[in-house]
Amino acid sequence: MPAPVPVLPPPVEAVVARWLALVDAARPGLVTGLHLRGGLCFGEWVAGQSDVDFVAVLARRPDPGDVEALVRAHAALREACPSPSFDGMHVLAADLAGDPDDCPDVLCVLGGHVEVEGREDLNPVAWTELATRGVTVRGTPAAELGVWTDDARLRAFTRENLDSYWRATAEGLAAAVTSSTPAEAGREDVCRWCVLGVARLDHLLVTGALTTKSGAGRWALGHHPARFGRVVAEALRLRDGGEPRYPATPEGVLERGRDVAAFTAYVVAAGTA
């Protein structure tokens, strides 16, 4: 379907334009396509929180000179525009046409850190977002690239993510709320990351559709047991604004932490049953 973001937010426009200018000056013709995914491809942009997730399509497998040029371009971008973070991968169109597991290691960027041979976001979620909703800045429209998708693999990858990273996170939260520093589980960033993170994966497994963090939170309010409504609303408040659901007291933070731990564990158990 067409990308729902006809005009990019000004901070995104600035980062994208600066990076393309840097890499084009250093290696003309190397970047033949640039596409955006993540929240942007659903029309969601939260100033101060959202990153710019990109997929750069290259004309060739980069040689050492190309790699050096790309690394320098990202370093210069980070110095000129430290925020928002410009995170993504540099692939060939042929890589996108196949299973991401078959893609070789490629130059990836996460939080400003460049990994020359990495696999960050080489997975069915990224491929599916690009194929179905990718926002094209340069090159062939994402919907016409013939990007590989497989619903069964997408679901299996999502379930495995719940069963590994998020199960370990749930166990860590459970341990935190009974430790000597229980307030750690109730930190605002932990609440936002964990509640909306697991809700997003659960939304896919239940509905079969990808969505944003905020979209998953709104869906979770009506899908999950009412006892979790308060902590889900708090996570949405921390992302989108609104009135606090917990008192700004040590007791309120502890209560929020217990609810974050309980919700995360609930969703992991439900999604991996």
Provide the domain limits for residue 76. Answer: 10-144
Which of residues 129, 144, 159 is at a domain's end? 144
Residue pair 72/89 in contact (Cβ under 8 Å)? The answer is no
User: What are 246's two structure tokens?
Assistant: 């917990």
pLDDT band at 2 (very low <50, low <70, confident <90, very high): very low
**Spatial distance between the Cα atoms of 177 and 260, rounded to a whole number of angstroms:** 10
Same domain, residue pair 135 and 167: no
115 burial via Cβ count (<10 Å: 0-12, 13-18, 19+): middle
In a domain? residue 43:
yes
Question: What average pLDDT does range 173-200 have in this prediction?
Answer: 92
Say whether both 38 and 131 belong to one domain. Answer: yes
Same domain (yes/no): 135, 156: no
Q: Which residue, 81, 112, 144, sits at the end of a domain?
A: 144
Q: Determine the average pLDDT of the residues in 145-149.
A: 97
Residues 225-254 have a mean pLDDT of 95
Question: Are 100 and 42 in a shared domain?
Answer: yes
For 70-79, write each residue's pLDDT tens digit. 999 999 999 9
179 and 254 inside one domain: yes
Residue 3 maps to a domain: no
Q: Of 144, 162, 178, at which residue does a domain stop?
A: 144
Instruction: Give the model's pLDDT for residue 3.
Output: 39
Is 240 found in the same domain as 183?
yes
Say how many domains are in the chain: 2
User: Based on the domain organization, do 23 and 108 belong to the same domain?
Assistant: yes
Query: What pTM, to 2 d.p., does this model score?
Result: 0.92
Q: How confident is the model at residue 153 (pLDDT cuts 50, 70, 90)?
A: very high
What is the pLDDT at residue 48? 87
> Does residue 237 sit in the same domain as residue 128?
no
Model pLDDT, residue 37: 96
| Same domain, yes or no: 136 and 161 | no
Same structural domain, 115 and 159 = no
In a domain, 4, yes or no: no
Q: Give the residue-averaged pLDDT of 150-163.
A: 97
List C-alpha distances in Å: 102 to 3, 90, 123.
Answer: 27, 15, 10
- For residue 181, the model assigns a pLDDT of 77
For all residues of the chain together, what is the average pLDDT?
A: 94
Of the chain, the end-to-end C-alpha distance in Å amounts to: 32
Q: pLDDT value at position 1?
A: 35
Residues 186-198, mean pLDDT to the nearest whole number = 97
Percent of the chain with pLDDT over 90: 92
Residues 118-136: pLDDT tens digits?
Answer: 999 999 999 999 999 999 9
Residues 191-213, mean pLDDT to the nearest whole number = 97
Confidence of residue 9 (pLDDT cuts 50, 70, 90): very high
